[in-house]
Amino acid sequence: MTRQIHRGSILHFPKASLNPSEHYQYWEDGVLVVKHGLIAHLGDAKDFLQAETTPLAQLPIVKHQGLIIPGLIDSHVHYPQVEVIASFGKQLLDWLNTYTFPAEQQFIEAAYARGQADFFLQQLFAHGTTTASVYATVHPQSVTSFFEAAQSHNARMICGKVLMDRNCPAALQDTPDNGYYESKQLIEQWHKNGRQLYAITPRFAPTSSEAQLAKAGQLAKEHPDTFIQTHLSENPNEVQWINELFPDYSDYLAVYEAHDLVREKSLFGHGIHLTDREYIALAASGATINFCPSSNLFLGSGLFNYQRAQANGVSVALASDVGGGTSLSMFANQADAYKVCQLQQTSLSPFDSLYLCTQGAAVAMGIDTQIGNLNVGSEADFVELDMQPTPMLSQRLNKARDLREQLFAINTLGDDRVINATYVAGKQVYKKGQHYVATAV
Ligand code: GUN
Ligand code: ZN
């Protein structure tokens, strides 16, 4: 395979950092060289061209007008809920019963699931997201359909079968044993198959019996390099319900700890209403909280305390949580993250928020040698931003005095319109304005 040379302005965070504003790399005229789906070179264009022996006219150069950044990472999203995005008037528990559980029942049909998986992936790419940690439904075929669709694009995706054996419609329930065996089969078939990774997925403690949580924990011990994804302390009524369902435990996280579900690669959606003990325990475990600002605002769940999480040393990654969230755009979610922090007297830097959905997410999830950055050897998942996407944003960007101001304007006003092109393992999977097949109805 020949190499591809992408030339344009380039921004990324090469390392783990507690202060991303100080630790980014930026080239106004840079090159990113892709070979065999991996990044073979990154640096200044002039240096690169000077060292080249091939005549310029013969080099396979793709010139980008926009800014190249790593593919975005959405660390918590529900693909079966895309069709119920923007559903009116309910908070978490009523929202689940009214909109989400009925929608998820359709995924018993593999063909329906595949149609929605294809649509979801196309939408992710159109929003610049190249990796997501995805909840399927209780039906194993919903996971198979998703992984088959992801594999067809060679996209690095994380997904898992939802485990639920109580407090939800009978049609969405498995049992501790079935859930265990179906998950195990899926792990054996899909975990590390190509770029696919598996997440053991007990939905949240209220919809699993202790027997099921124990089986999920057993699975997690048997497969220590899989992810675990679940929800934690999202809504005050949910936390109250936990107290009633699990009276013997000191707090919400203690329920997961008692069942061996808190470790590195555990991804906890939300984490809004946490006690001091829970912050400390999360930090010690190496687990990650998924900060889901658009969902938290939309469902009225509360304000995630980013500063407190940081002060306690808890890993955080940004997420859309669609369909509770209102946009698959990690820019729209950065805008909401900024506002959530403003309401708590903290101003989230645009470098920090971009880090939380690129390198920071990859570091938290332990996949930063593969994705999240544009380092040599990483997988060539990247996005070209359109720096003249709308009249309003174009004018604002023209007035911006530096990269920080540009980035902040893109974060605040951006959505899928700021994505010009998306590349997965070096291959273009989305180009603005080009027709692409999106099969969902
Ligand atoms: N808690 C349990 N299930 C869900 C879900 O599907 N979405 C959100 N936002 N919270 C949940
Ligand atoms: Zn969720």
Query: Per-block average pLDDT, block size 10, for the chain (441 residues)?
Result: 92 98 98 98 97 92 98 99 97 97 98 98 98 99 98 98 98 98 98 98 98 98 98 98 98 98 98 98 98 98 98 98 98 98 98 98 98 99 97 97 98 98 98 73 52
Q: Is 231 in the pocket of ligand 1 (CB under 6 A)?
A: yes
Best residue for ligand 1 mutational test, from 77, 87, 104, 234 (most atoms within 8 Å of Cβ): 234
Architecture in CATH for domain 72-365: Alpha-Beta Barrel (3.20)
Q: How far is the CA of 324 from the centre of ligand 1 (A)?
A: 7
* Cα–Cα dist 366/319, whole Å: 16
Best residue for ligand 1 mutational test, from 79, 87, 92, 292 (most atoms within 8 Å of Cβ): 92
Task: Give the ligand with the smallest distance to the CA of 101.
Answer: 1
38 half-sphere exposure, CB direction, 13 A CA radius? 9
How much is the pLDDT for 1? 55
Q: Using one digit for the tens of pLDDT, what is the confidence trace for 322-353?
A: 999 999 999 999 999 999 999 999 999 999 99
Nearest CA to ligand 1 atom 8: 324
Q: 341-360 burial, b if ≥16 CB within 10 A, otherwise e?
A: beeeeeebbbbbbbbbbbbb
Ligand 1 atom nearest to CA at 325: 9
Ligand 1 atom nearest to CA at 301: 9
Domain boundaries, the chain: 4-70+379-431, 72-365
Q: How far is the CA of 127 from the centre of ligand 2 (A)?
A: 19
Best residue for ligand 1 mutational test, from 81, 107, 203 (most atoms within 8 Å of Cβ): 203
* Cα–Cα dist 266/169, whole Å: 26
How much is the pLDDT for 2? 85
Strands 61-70, 382-385: parallel, antiparallel or unpaired by DSSP? antiparallel
In terms of Cα–Cα distance, which of 190, 147, 135, 163 is closest to 261? 163
How much is the pLDDT for 441? 52
Q: Is 153 in the pocket of ligand 1 (CB under 6 A)?
A: no
For the segment(s) 4-70+379-431, the CATH number from 3.40.50.740, 3.60.60.10, 2.40.50.140, 2.30.40.10 is 2.30.40.10
